[in-house]
Structure 1
Amino acid sequence: MPAWIIIGAARGIGFEYVNQLSATSDNEVIALIRSQGTASALNALAGQRSNIHVVEADIFSPDSLGKAVAEVEKLTNGALDVLVHNAYSAGTDAMFLTASQFTGKETELNHELTETIKANVIGPMLTINAFLPLIGKGSEKKLIYITSGAGDIDMTRYSRLAAQIGYSASKAGGNVVMAKYAGELFDSGIKTLSISPGWVETPATEGLTEDPAVYDYLFNAFKRIQPNVSGMIKAEQSVKAQLEVIAKLDAEGSGAFVSHHGDRQWVD
C-alpha cells in the first residue's frame, strides 16, 4: 500500500493532493497540518475516507517534527513512499515592492527575505530531514517540493515580474536545495523533484488577486510568456497533472525543476 505524506494539507493544492490520492483506497495518505484552525474541510474528508490520517506538527520545531515522525511511523509501518512539501510563504506585506523600492526600507527588506527563506527553504529542509529515514524504507522513495515558475530566471526575465522578490528568490533557493538532495541521495535510490503547480486558484492566490490591479499585473506578466493564458487554473487540474509527472520521476530526472506539464510551460 503506497504511503504518501502531504506537508501543508489543510487547504488549496495540499488539500487537493489528499483528495485525489485518497480516492484510491490502496493509498495511505498522511495529511500534515500546522493547526486545526483551517482544517475543517480536511477533517470532513478524513471522516469519509479511512485512508486519510491528519497529523499536526510545527515544521520549524525539531521536537514537534520528531513526535509527528513517531506517529507517522506507526501509521505506515515505518515507511513512506512519497513526501510532498506544499507548505510555503508567499511573502510579507512588502511582497509587491520591487528591488529599488526597498531603498530606505531596509527593515522591510530583511523581513521579506527572512520570512520567505525560513518558510520556503529552511522549513522544507527540516521536514525532509525528519522524514528521510521513513522515505528511505519506502518503495517509491520520492521527495517532491512544490515550487513556482517565479523561481526560474528566464521566466522572471521575459515576464518582467519585478516584485515578489522574497518569494522568487526563496523558491529558486529551494530548487537548488532539492538538486543538492538529489546528488547526495542518488546512490540510495531516493529521487527529488521541484515542481511548479502553475497559476492555481486557491484560497491563498485568491487573497492576493482580490485587488484588480494585482491580478492585472500578474496576468499581463504571464501573458508575456504564454500569450494564450486565460487565467488561473483549478487545483484539481493542477494536481492531476502533477501526479502524472511525479509518477514518471526516475533517477535520471532526479533533482529537476519542472512545471506541472513536466516541462518549462509555467502557466496555461
Structure 2
Amino acid sequence: MTSSKVYLITGGNRGIGFELVKELSKDENNFVIATVRDPSKNDEFKVFSESKKNVSAVKLDFDKDSDIDGLGGQLGKLTDKVDVFISNAGISDAYHEVVEASKEDYFTHYRVNALAPVFIFQKVYPFLKKSDIKKAVFVSTAACSFSEFLPLRVSAYGSSKAALNFSVLQLSSELVNEGFTIFAAHPGMVSSDMGKVGLEKLPQIVPDIEKYFADSLVVITPEQSALGLSKVIEASDSQYNGKFYYYDGSAHNF
C-alpha cells in the first residue's frame, strides 16, 4: 500500500509526540501516523497535519477498550505495515510518597503508562511483522531507574514506567529472533505541559533535588527532546535491543 517509511506515534498531537511528528515528517519519504484522542479537535496538530501530505491521524483513547481494539482496523485503512512504532503517550500527575499515594493514582498511571502500551503493541505487532525494519521504541523515564535511583516522590509514575520497562525487556527477548529491535528511551527533563507541572512541584517536594543529578537540573524543550529521540531511533540497530537509551544517545542501565 505504501513504499514510505511508516512511523506510528501514540500521543502525537501534543508535547514530545507532536514534536516527533513534526521532526519525522520533514522527510517526505516518511509517512507519520499519530494517535490522538479526538481527531476532529481544531488544534495546532490538526492544522499541521492537514497541511502535510505525509501525516495522518487515527483516533485512540487509552481509556476506551473499543479504541484499542479498533486500532488495527484504522491502521489498515492507511498502511499495510508499520516500520517504527513509538509508544510516547503517558501521564505523570501524582506527586506523592508511597504512603500518601491513592489507589486511583496507581490504577490510572499503571493503566496508561504500563498496560495500554502493551495492549497497543499487540494490535500494531501484525503491521510491524510486515516491515523489514521492525522497530518499537517505548518512551520511559530516568525516574524509574533502579541502577540510578532518584528519590523524586513520583511513586505511581515511576513504578508504572518500571513495569513498562519490564515489558520492553520481555518483548525484546521474545521477538529478537523475528528481527525486532525493541528498546526504551528517556526523553529528558522536558518543559512540555506535563513536564512543567513536575518542574513546578518537584522542588517543593524534594528541596535538594539538584544534588541527585550529575551536573545540574537540565531542562530541555519538547523540540530538543524530539530531535534527540529521532536521532537515537534513526541510529538504532540490533545492538539497541533490550537496552535503555537517553535522548542524547547515551546508554544506561534500567
TM-score by length of 1: 0.85
Closer/same/farther in 2, CA of residues 263 and 89 from structure 1, 3 Å limit: same
Deviations 1:230-255 (A, max 9, x none): x4101111111111111222223211
1:251 paired residue number: 238
**Alpha-carbon offset, residue 215 of structure 1:** 4.3
* Residue 227 (structure 1) shift: 2.1
Distance in structure 2 (CA, Å) of the matches to 1:37 and 1:222: 42
- Counterparts of 2:146 and 2:40, CA distance in 1: 36
Contact 1:11 1:39 in 2 (8 A): no
CA drift of 1:113 comes to: 1.4
Is 1:169 paired with 2:171?
no
Provide the aligned C-alpha RMSD in A.
2.2
Q: Which residue of 115, 128, 152 maps to 2:145?
A: 152
- Partners of 2:130 and 2:7 in 1: how far apart? 13
* Counterparts in 2 of 1:151 and 1:240: CA distance versus 1, 3 Å: same
1:17 matched to 2:20 = yes
C-alpha distance in structure 2 between counterparts of 1:39 and 1:83, whole Å:
25
Percent identity between the two aligned chains: 23
For 1:206 and 1:248, the matched residues in 2 are separated by 29
How many residues in Structure 1 have an aligned counterpart in Structure 2?
250
Give 1:160 deviation, angstroms.
3.1
1:224 is aligned to 212
CA distance in 2, matches of 1:153, 1:221: 17
**Closer/same/farther in 2, CA of residues 64 and 97 from structure 1, 3 Å limit:** closer
TM-score, normalization by structure 2: 0.90
Q: Indicate how the Cα distance of structure 1 residues 42 and 97 shifts in structure 2: closer, same or farther if over 3 A, else same.
A: same
Unpaired runs of at least 5, structure 2 = none
Aligned pairs for 1:178-197 (under 5 A) are 178-197=168-187
**For the structure 1 residues 222 and 173, does the alpha-carbon distance in structure 2 shift closer, same or farther, using more than 3 Å as the test?**
farther
Tell me the distance in 2 between the aligned counterparts of 1:148 and 1:21.
22
Q: CA shift at 1:60, angstroms?
A: 4.6
5+ long unaligned stretches in structure 1: 103-107
Residue 45 (1) aligns with residue 38 (2): no
Q: Secondary structure at the match of 1:70?
A: helix
Cα contact 2:13–2:36 (8 A) shared by 1: yes
Between the aligned partners of 1:143 and 1:39, the Cα distance in structure 2 is 29
1:195 and 1:38 map into 2 onto residues whose CA distance is 29
Say whether residues 1:116 and 2:115 are aligned partners: no
Q: Secondary structure at the match of 1:42?
A: helix
Instruction: Report if aligned partners of 1:10, 1:39 keep a CA contact under 8 Å in 2.
Output: no
For 1:209, what is the secondary structure of its paired residue?
helix
Find the counterpart in structure 2 of residue 105 from structure 1.
none
Alignment of 1:53-202 (within 5 A): 53-76=56-79, 78-91=80-93, 95-100=94-99, 102=100, 108-156=101-149, 159-161=150-152, 163-202=153-192
Return the alpha-carbon distance in structure 1 between the equivalents of residues 66 and 97 of structure 2.
37
Residue pair 1:8, 1:32 contacting (<8 A) in 2 also: yes
Residue 236 of structure 1 pairs with residue 223 of structure 2: yes
Helix, strand or coil at the partner of 2:147:
helix
Moved more, 56-65 or 126-135: 56-65
- For the 8 Å contact 2:243–2:251, the answer to whether it is kept is no
| Paired letter, 1:179 | L
